[in-house]
Chain A
Amino acid sequence: MLQIDRVSRSFAGVEALRNVTLEIAEGEVVGLIGPNGSGKTTLFNVISGLFPADRGVIRFRGYNLAGLRPDQIAALGIARTFQTPRVFHRMTVWENLACAVFAGAPRTSTLGVDDRRHVEALLEKSGLDHRAGELAENLTLPEQRRLELVRTLVADPGLILLDEPAGGMTPAETEAMARLIEDVVPDGRSCIVIEHKIDMIASLCQRICVLDFGQVIADGNADTVLKDEAVLEAYLGRGKRA
């Protein structure tokens, strides 16, 4: 579904991504971990079109993403969330989702019955159904993160990029977010999750990819990767650094 082939990206001479190669299959949920500044969010930004790769190719369902704008990439079926939730604060919860319906269907001028049912179902799953008329700025951080997550699902994307979906949450809220992701993300969708909470990543992802200094240093089965010496050293601070 997604092929990232030797992608590099530099900022002012600093290589944020170095020859990153990664392949995500249909329906696969992959954890993307690494220390701060290892290039995880940069990879999301390059995939979603915020800025282009200096070198390398990214293909999604066969389409080369080079030169496409973020909205064109979103239209192909790639949705994302952000470290800091980017919900529309001055819109209601319902309007946030309605906006996503319209963004995903350029020829639609009003919400149809199916659209409304779809939005209502997502609101119910996310536990936000009782807050549909509330301005998003009045939601708590976990609620804003849940809203942002379900907003990505409105247009039925093929690939979802989740950037620290449990950032700033308590253990109980993190657990609830993990269950929500499990609940809403399957159905053949692929997903890449950036998260520092290893327990959450281990429970959600069959596969984990580790970035360090912009390079992939490990990629494979979650159990194996989390025991890898290079990963323990780079990410968990064990081994030689301990």
Chain B
Amino acid sequence: MVDFIQNTLDGIFIGSSYALLAIGFTLIFGVMRRLNLSYGPSIMLGVFAGTLLYIQLNAGLLVVGLATVVGAVLAGLYVERICFWAVRRGAALASMVSSFAIWMQLEEAVTIVFPDRTYPFPPLADFTLKLGPFWVRGEHLIMFICASLLTILLHLLLYRTRFGLAIRAVSENPTAAKFMGINTGLVVMFAFALASVIGGVAGYLIASTDQQVTPLFGLWATFKGLIAMTLGGMGSIPGAIAGGLLLGVIEAQSVWYLGTEYRDLVAYAVLFAFLVFRPGGLFAQKSAMQSRLAARRV
């Protein structure tokens, strides 16, 4: 039982970073109703910006963190301009395919500049807490606290500010938002930037926990974020949080009881089970879907 609880705790801590990735995907999916497959790679670009400063200038944690977030935001805005703004009037599939192309482009660019398999990333903390029979790694605890704070800030932003109202309006009914006078293009761009900030923080927390980065980080972040978003319910921020935590716990339990090699296998099995038996995810948004369908009948 102690092992099960310990695994659950570890899973929640790791899952908090998955939740951040899923929130980023959700924000973009919410305002565009399109999947941004380049989200993970744009975070990867930010992480490599951080590691570059660390390797070349031996920069401190704060500078590396800032560089990671700024790099992720710049890459995110580049993706928005190329894949979503330029083909806004086109089919959703065109945006998704072009975001896949940009994914490959970003990965190639990083591989050219960083040809080795892995690069070092500065650790965030180096301590372990003992709480009764349970152990908590310092970087996991910091990851969880940062993710929680960021989620609270995001909630306040969405529900207490004019920018948040605009994002929610565009997410729910972009046509009505436009006719009310909201510049939806600008809101989409800000939403991308916001998602990139969240992704940058998640990338920083994950890379500093692993203490290394690889060009495959983009692929990893995209998969984790997409799975967590789908488990929670596409377009739902509470769903993204729940999906991230659930994915973390599933992975931690799988590693302990079945072995590391079964971690992803079990995660994908659970994903398929959700897609078959509860395709809307944990927080299926029935009413939102109905309202969007109704909104199409102008």
Contacts and interface: CB of A to CB of B under 8 A. Distances in A.
Contacts of A90: 168, 172, 287-288, 291
B168 A109 contact: no
Contacts of B173: 86, 88
A108 B162 contact: yes
B175 interface: yes
A69 interface: yes
Nearest to A78: B179
- Chain A, interface size: which category? 20 to 34
B162 A151 contact: no
Of all A-B residue pairs in the complex, the 8 with the closest CB atoms, nearest first, are A74-B181, A86-B176, A103-B181, A102-B162, A70-B178, A89-B291, A103-B180, A99-B165
Contact of B183 (A41, A71, A89): A71
A108 B181 CA distance: 14
A103 B178 CA distance: 9
Interface string A92-112: 000100111011100011100
B52 to A, nearest CB: 36
Nearest to B288: A90
B221 to A, nearest CB: 28
A155 B181 CA distance: 9
20 contacts: A41-B298, A48-B179, A70-B178, A71-B178, A71-B183, A84-B297, A84-B298, A86-B176, A88-B176, A90-B287, A90-B291, A91-B165, A91-B169, A95-B165, A99-B180, A102-B166, A103-B169, A104-B181, A137-B287, A137-B291
B172 A88 contact: yes
A137 B106 CA distance: 42
Contact of B179 (A79, A87, A88, A102): A79
A74 B172 CA distance: 19
Interface string B143-167: 0000000000000000001100110
B179 A74 contact: yes
Interface in B161-201: 161-162, 165-166, 168-169, 172-173, 175-184
A75 B176 CA distance: 14
- Which residue, B162, B175, B180, B294, has most C-beta atoms of chain A within 10 A? B180
A75 B181 contact: yes
Interface string A56-84: 00000000000001110011000110111
Interface of B: 161-162, 165-166, 168-169, 172-173, 175-184, 287-288, 291, 294-295, 297-298
A86 B183 CA distance: 17
Given A89-B287, A99-B165, A100-B181, 5 more contacts: A69-B183, A89-B291, A90-B168, A103-B169, A155-B180
Contacts of A87: 176
Contacts of A83: 297-298
Interface in A21-69: 41, 45, 48, 50, 69
B175 A89 contact: no
Contacts of A95: 165, 168
- Which residue, B166, B177, B181, has most C-beta atoms of chain A within 10 A? B181
A110 B173 CA distance: 22
- Which residue, B168, B176, B288, has most C-beta atoms of chain A within 10 A? B176
Contacts of B178: 69-71, 74
Nearest to B296: A84
Interface string A107-139: 011100000000000000000000000000100
Contacts of A69: 178, 183
B180 A100 contact: yes
Contact of A103 (B161, B168, B182, B297): B182
Contacts of B288: 89-90
Contacts of A89: 172, 287-288, 291
A99 B298 contact: no
